[in-house]
Structure 1
């Protein structure tokens, strides 16, 4: 039962955090004059990676699940994932300049 509750919690948190980040990023891209429909998948992947790092390093320790595998990501893995997410978020303006 705890696993099901944790899964529901993850889905709700991703919906809230993902929507908020997606709205903020889309607003920022619109202010820059970018077409947000073109780069939606890139933004979604970047938000998903950021949420994964946030969940594994902070949110998993405050949930209902108390089983095995509850450990933080190694520091280097967290840094690589955050850097790759930042690159993905910077990619649409760069692509727009090069291709547009």
Structure 2
């Protein structure tokens, strides 16, 4: 007869099992944050491009990469400190790194606009 260690699946056990469960929950939380915020930002930016009459076409991956960078900055500076996995090692990104990443994300998000408005010089 197979006896499963169900007591190890719950919160009241101490030690490595609780830490593993917290890390697993934090990974699921980070994935859900990325999916939800990525979908919302992608929908908003795509609507803006459609509203301006621009076709993103094959350059949508640039926008998605910029959105992922923005979500990374937002997670590292805000969401990381409100989850289940609290550690003394977690720190916010430094101000120059945050500025560099946000600037890079803005350039990537605006790149289809720059490429389509450049016309024949970029094709």
TM-score by structure 2 length?
Answer: 0.76
- Which structure has the higher relative contact order (CA within 8 Å, separation 6+)? 1
Q: How many residues align?
A: 100
Q: Which aligned runs of 4 or more in structure 1 are off by greater than 2 angstroms? A: none
Query: Structure 1 residue 8 and structure 2 residue 28: aligned?
Result: yes
TM-score by structure 1 length?
Answer: 0.93
Larger radius of gyration: 2
Give the whole-Å Cα distance in 1 for the aligned partners of 2:57 and 2:33.
24
Q: CA RMSD in A?
A: 1.3
Pair 63,32 (structure 1): closer, same or farther in 2 beyond 3 Å: same
TM-aligned CA deviation for residue 68 of structure 1:
4.9
Name structure 1 gaps, 5 residues minimum. Answer: none
1:1-100 correspondence to structure 2 within 5 Å: 1-99=21-119
